[in-house]
Amino acid sequence: MNKKESAFERLLNGIIVENPTFVLTLGMCPTLAVTTSAVNGLGMGLTTMAVLALSNLLISLLRNIIPDKVRIPAFIVIIASFVTVMQLLLEGFLPSLYEALGIYIPLIVVNCIILGRAEAYASKRPAVLSLFDGIGMGLGFSMALTCIGAVRELLGAGEVFGIRVMPASYVPVSIFVMAPGAFFVLAALTAGMNALKKAGEKRGRDMSRIRTGCDLDCARCGQSAGCTKPEKEG
Amino acid sequence: MSGLRNVSSNPHVRAKSTTASIMGTVLIALLPAAAFGVYNFGPRAALLILVSVAAAVLTEYLFERLCKKKVTVGDLSAAVTGLLLALNLPVSAPWWIPLLGSAFAILVVKLLFGGLGQNFMNPALAGRCFLLISFPAIMTNFDCDAYAGATPLAAVKAGESVNVMDMILGRTAGTIGETSMIAIVLGACILILAGVIDLKVPGSYIVSFTVFVALFASLTGRTVNGPYLSAQLAGGGLMLGAFFMATDYVTRPITKKGQYVYGVFLGFMTAVFRIFGAGAEGVSYAILLGNLLTPLIEKYTMPKCFGKGGERS
């Protein structure tokens, strides 16, 4: 927590170190439901990123005004406002994406990544860092969703971003664009991420920050008893 | 002499049967059905069986070598999975279907959950359903050189009459191993005589299926008579499923009472799928659902230890 925090570090943190999908495994509902194609995954990711960055910024700016007792409702009001803005924008300018994402756009309000970052980060940190934290987390989420969507589309339809990449003789494994495929691909990519982390450790790099999976203030954290976070001693 | 001095903790008396010997018996018991499949559908069936078994064994071998684990190919369970999967395929399937299905069954369903004994679903059946969901057109195409047209079960569902004698002998369209009731029951007798399985699960499955299918069919206004019931019993994967898949040690309940509950549940679900479902067949999904319920059934049917339970003093 007291390591150097810069805008760049925040971006990297969101994309790799604490990737919301593969490391923190947050926001599973949209992750599993909308990633039937790379475009849907990317659209969902970018929409969430916009909401995340803006709500992080606003919550950080208001962090000294919002009373502690009603902070969660206050966060939700802020997040819901931005989601409504995004929903109307999508409906107006990207109707096809709006149709494809459907109910999952309003459900961004209850995406635990957004509320989690508001509670764990933006409500305690300066505005610029919070903004970049939101962008980093959003980018990590977008990348993860796009990857999952691309793999599912590739195996399940033989295409990526709607462009045919498999030879014509390829028979699509349609289970991958159905619900079970989402679980298979998410599990395989998470395993791949862990394998990369292990390989990095073997080469002697410090990978300890990956998979701490927590950005909470240790003093206020309810789970500090079972916590293995290195900073706890510090 | 040195054997006599060997000091060890109990158990001191062990049964001779090993995983490999049990799986070997299952393989032998499956041979009549497999042989009849090859006789009925031609050499292409043998090719699919070969690819399926080889893919299953090879997947297990490669995964365990790559992960530096003990290679368990010798317990023959992978071969059983591969053979069972092949028996569940239509003969018209392209060669890569058993390859993909076996690899999925062994890798995802069995090894990723911890190997034999840890899988919560029957690998062969899960592999088959994976294929069925992914390639519905290929997996339900029962047209081949020997037979054209619907499977007997589909014909029964459509209200047509079928030749029950052909179904019992196996001279019908269907998957490679499911058509001949005689060959499957012969294999089942081998298993029962060798003590590998008993009749608790298959018996309660088949009996309850007959009862429920008669009940549901009459509810939907069909005439339930002898030929109809025999067609339902001899048709599709019921016999193969009841004797070779529902009895899987890993995924059926271990308690005596639980096995009856499990069998009746499978019979009920199969009848529901066959009568009310969109397709003609429902054995695979019924058994997979039963697999999922197995821990729950075991929890409620576990016998009480002596001295436990009853009135607290």
Does ipTM come in above 0.85? no
Q: Could you tell me the pLDDT band of residue B243, with boundaries at 50, 70 and 90?
A: very high
Instruction: Provide the residue count of chain B.
Output: 313
Percent of chain B with pLDDT over 90: 51
pLDDT in tens, B123-146: 999 999 999 999 988 888 887 776
Distance CA A159, CA A151 (A): 9
Cβ-contact B287, B241 below 8 angstroms: yes
Task: Please tell me the predicted confidence (pLDDT) of residue A212.
Answer: 45
Question: At A105, which amino acid appears?
Answer: I
What pLDDT, on the 0 to 100 scale, is given for residue A50?
A: 93
Q: Is B130 on the interface with A (CB under 8 A)?
A: yes
Residue B103's pLDDT is: 94
pLDDT over 70, % of chain B:
95
Contact state of A173 with B134 under an 8 Å Cβ cutoff: yes
Q: C-alpha distances in angstroms, A19 versus A28, A142, A228, B90, B92?
A: 13, 10, 19, 44, 45
Q: What is the mean pLDDT of each run of 10 residues along chain A (234 residues)?
A: 71 84 86 89 92 93 90 92 94 90 89 89 88 92 93 89 83 88 92 85 63 49 48 40
Name the residue facing A178 among B108, B133, B135 (closest C-beta).
B133
Instruction: Judge whether A173 is closer than 8 Å to chain B, CB to CB.
Output: yes
* Residues 256-295, chain B, touching A (beta carbon < 8 A): none
CA distance A156 to chain B (A): 8
Which of the residue ranges A22-26, B31-35, B153-157, B267-271 would you say has the lowest mean pLDDT? Answer: B153-157
| Chain A neighbors of B134, CB-CB under 8 A | 173-176
Instruction: State residue B313's pLDDT score.
Output: 53
Residue with tokens 């592999």: B127
In the predicted model, what is the mean pLDDT of residues B299-313?
77
* B133–chain A Cβ distance below 8 A for any pair: yes
Report pLDDT for B225. Answer: 82
Closest chain A C-alpha to B222 CA, distance in angstroms = 35
CA atoms within 13 A on the CB side of B59: 28
The answer to whether residue B308 scores a pLDDT higher than 80 is: no
Q: Average pLDDT over chain B, rounded to whole?
A: 88
Residue A7: closest CA among A47, A80, A56, A41: A56
pLDDT score at B128: 93
pLDDT at B169: 83
What average pLDDT score do residues B172-198 get?
Answer: 89
